[in-house]
Structure 1
Amino acid sequence: MRLAFIAYWGIDQGLTQATVLPHLRVLSEDPRVEEIIFFTIERNGFVKSDSSIIKVHHFPVAEQSRIRGFSKFSALRKIYLKLKEFKPDFVLARSSLAGIPAYHYFKKTGTPYLIESFEPHAEYMIDAGEWKKSGFKYGLLKKYERKQMVTAAFLFPVSENYRNYLLAQGIERNRVRVLPCTVDGRQFARNQTEREGIRKKLKIHSSSTVGIYVGKFGGIYKTHEAFTHFMDVLERFDSYHLIVLTPQDSEEVLGYAKTAKFSLDNLSVLSVAINEVPSYLSASDIGFATYKQFASNKYLSPIKLGEYFASGLFVVCSPGVGDDASRLIPERIGVTTDRLDAFEELYRNFSSRSSVNYSVHYRSQKLIKECYNLFLTKV
């Protein structure tokens, strides 16, 4: 079987490394798969080919367009033309945007396709302040999302919440399967040596309670308000420190901390390679995920939460985020920021094994194989 896999991000972007490459490895190891052509959309003219996975041929596509704001659509057209040349037996797309050329190729040839990480991306762009509901791009993507609901062989949303929405829209139950953002539990298993090493490097006392935030600020994520939440939790401890791992400019992040009057003496803002993240999680005790309040948040499956759970962290998360937020207190693995009254009792009785067990049940990479087997047995 010859497959095409379309990713919406560049090869070196965190989401590709964390959520796409593991899926390609699963596919490449299946004896039913002969060959995979893998498309990425590279930003800023940067094009780098990566053929490190067996059976996978990487085809990077650079964004180029004379019309401002439409470079992504020009890249998607290039992918469609390459599909016509490659003639795959089945197409996988990660996100509704990546699914646009898959949809057109289906209409042209009848070749089946699926969309994983199928989410209301158009609504996310509104929530992030990137698009307007009256804008052309929003209307165009909404149109494609509706068409994909009807024509895709399978839809793999990342949350039960969005699966329930799709079923309520009349989508056949056997076409919809939840595939959250999964995590390699071995990679993120707590490492005592790394814990001690990172704490020594950052001059954090071994007895200090360490919080960690991984990711960006702004858009759908809180900025200075996030640091208020960090303070609300960490100032309960006699000795504490906060680690922030972010690709953003450190001065910008420090500005948010200063606005919230967070102690800079208790803060480390770093930008690290993705393979270094597990070490910093091992050095931590509490993982934070602070989102602005949007109705579409319930359809998310944040990769950072999966990594926190796999690392055995206690989680503090904004309410209404994906499936996980509502499970934190019942599973006794964390709290939402509107229920900090429950923090002290839950944290006092918290076992990191509970978070790891949660990760194994809800974020294990075995779910990838289970979902992919649905189409591999039918093509």
Structure 2
Amino acid sequence: MNILYIGYWSVYEGLSEASIRPALAVLNQFEAVQNIVYVSIERNVAKAECNWKLDKVIHKPFYSPYKSFFRDKIRDFNVLPKQLILLCREWHFDKIICRGAPAGALGYLIWQKTKIPFIVESFEPHSSYMAASGVWKRWDIRYLIQKYYEYKQIRTAETLITVSNSYKDYLVNTYGNSNIVVIPCVVDGESFQFSNRARNELRRKMKISHEAVVGIYVGKFGGLYYDDVAFNLFKNFIEQQNVYLIILTPQEKTELYALLSKHHIDLKMVFITNVPHYTVKDYLSVADFGFCLHRRTRWSMAFSPIKNGEYWANGLPIIMSTQIGDDSTIIEEVKGGGKVVDFEEYISDEDFLEIKQIIKDYNIDRINNVSNQLAKKYRSIENLTRVYKQVINKL
């Protein structure tokens, strides 16, 4: 069996490392799979190389340099499908797997011409996310194009894999689909396991006391994520006694320092950097809890933040907003894994006292606490393997 796997991001993107690499590693283990041709879309590099060392995976970067939205979309949905169809004729693919709804649009366009069955994993209402968060308007051509292709995927994909049960239920109730399975975004639990050595070494280098309560945020600000609301939350946190904040983000430091200053947050209490994905685990080990800053909207029930799985795998409790995928419900129902609060309201001292007690309880055993157990139950790679076996067996 030959599989075409389409990602919509550069191979160098953190999302590719965190989500596409584990998926390819699972497929690489199946005896029935002979070759996996992985297509990445490269915008800003002249030459892209995949060094994931998976023997059945052949990386085919497609170059689509960023110029303007209209040129990009014409190229993405006109030129790229033609190139991918030629690739299909060369490799005689049995199945196409697309990561996310933007990649799923390419899968649909290929299916139109070839009728090769396609699967969309991490299928989400991308257009609705962008509109609800204020990034796109509902009359915006970007919204209309993406919305159209999402509908086509719902109607024609062999299988849709959503990342939350809440969104699956919505699709079933709205469209009557029976071709939907759920798999939250998985993480390699061993790779993100807590390291006491990393905790001690980095705390010493960063001059953070052993007793300090350290919060960490991994990700971006704005769009799908809170920005001003996030920094109000950080301000509430920094005002507590003996605390420190770590932010791991690809965004420009100057932009974030301006937001910290705007919210009167002491810069000496904050460390901002961007690190390779494989070193994130060390900074998680330094921390005592993680912030999840996905913006709550009508459509946020469809989220499954990868960072939540990474936090949990490291034994970290999470502070997160209500209605974020299935995770908010999991935390509230099992009374563990963190604390759910309304980010758009003031977080009280009592809330932080409760968070500190959770931290104290969880730090007793960071390798086998409630968060770690949640990672094993909901975010393990074994879950992805199980779903992929179902997908492969449909042939």
TM-score by length of 2: 0.90
Amino acid at match of 2:188: D
Q: Is the 8 A contact 1:91 1:114 kept in 2?
A: yes
Q: For 2:173, which of 161, 164, 168 is the aligned residue?
A: 168
Q: For 2:106, which of 101, 105, 118 is the aligned residue?
A: 101
CA distance, structure 2, for counterparts of residue 171 and residue 155 of structure 1: 13
Amino acid at match of 1:99: G
Q: Which residue of 2 aligns with 1:37?
A: 37
CA deviation profile, 1:59-92 (whole Å, cap 9, x unmatched) = 1011148764341551342334433433201000
Q: Is the 8 A contact 1:314 1:347 kept in 2?
A: no
Deviation of the 1:172 alpha carbon = 3.5
Q: Which residue of 2 aligns with 1:262?
A: 265
Amino acid at match of 1:54: D
Alignment pair present for 1:16 and 2:16 = yes
Deviation of the 1:131 alpha carbon = 2.8
Q: Is the 8 A contact 1:4 1:91 kept in 2?
A: yes
Q: Is the 8 A contact 2:137 2:143 kept in 1?
A: yes
TM-score by length of 1: 0.94
CA distance, structure 2, for counterparts of residue 62 and residue 292 of structure 1: 32
CA RMSD of aligned residues (A): 1.9
Q: Is the 8 A contact 1:63 1:72 kept in 2?
A: no
Deviation of the 1:357 alpha carbon = 0.3
Q: Which residue of 2 aligns with 1:365?
A: 381
CA distance, structure 1, for counterparts of residue 252 and residue 69 of structure 2: 25
Alignment pair present for 1:312 and 2:315 = yes
CA distance, structure 2, for counterparts of residue 81 and residue 137 of structure 1: 27
Give matches, 1:117-266, under 5 Å.
117-173=122-178, 175-236=179-240, 238-266=241-269
Q: Is the 8 A contact 2:237 2:243 kept in 1?
A: no
In structure 1, stretches of 5+ residues that fail to align are none
Deviation of the 1:154 alpha carbon = 0.6
Distance 1:70-1:371 versus aligned 2 partners, 3 A rule: farther
CA distance, structure 1, for counterparts of residue 315 and residue 109 of structure 2: 43
Partner-residue secondary structure (3-state), 1:195: helix
Q: Which residue of 1 aligns with 2:333?
A: 330
Distance 1:73-1:182 versus aligned 2 partners, 3 A rule: farther
CA distance, structure 2, for counterparts of residue 224 and residue 269 of structure 1: 17
Partner-residue secondary structure (3-state), 1:247: coil
CA distance, structure 2, for counterparts of residue 147 and residue 327 of structure 1: 32
Q: Is the 8 A contact 1:117 1:158 kept in 2?
A: yes
Mean Cα deviation higher: 64-73 or 332-341: 64-73
Give matches, 1:342-361, under 5 Å.
342-345=351-354, 347-349=356-358, 350-351=361-362, 352=366, 353-361=369-377
Distance 1:216-1:112 versus aligned 2 partners, 3 A rule: same
Distance 1:100-1:345 versus aligned 2 partners, 3 A rule: closer
Amino acid at match of 2:384: I
Deviation of the 1:176 alpha carbon = 0.8
Query: How many residues are matched?
Result: 377
Q: Which residue of 1 aligns with 2:58?
A: 57
Partner-residue secondary structure (3-state), 1:11: coil
Partner-residue secondary structure (3-state), 2:308: helix
CA distance, structure 2, for counterparts of residue 65 and residue 223 of structure 1: 25
Amino acid at match of 1:199: R
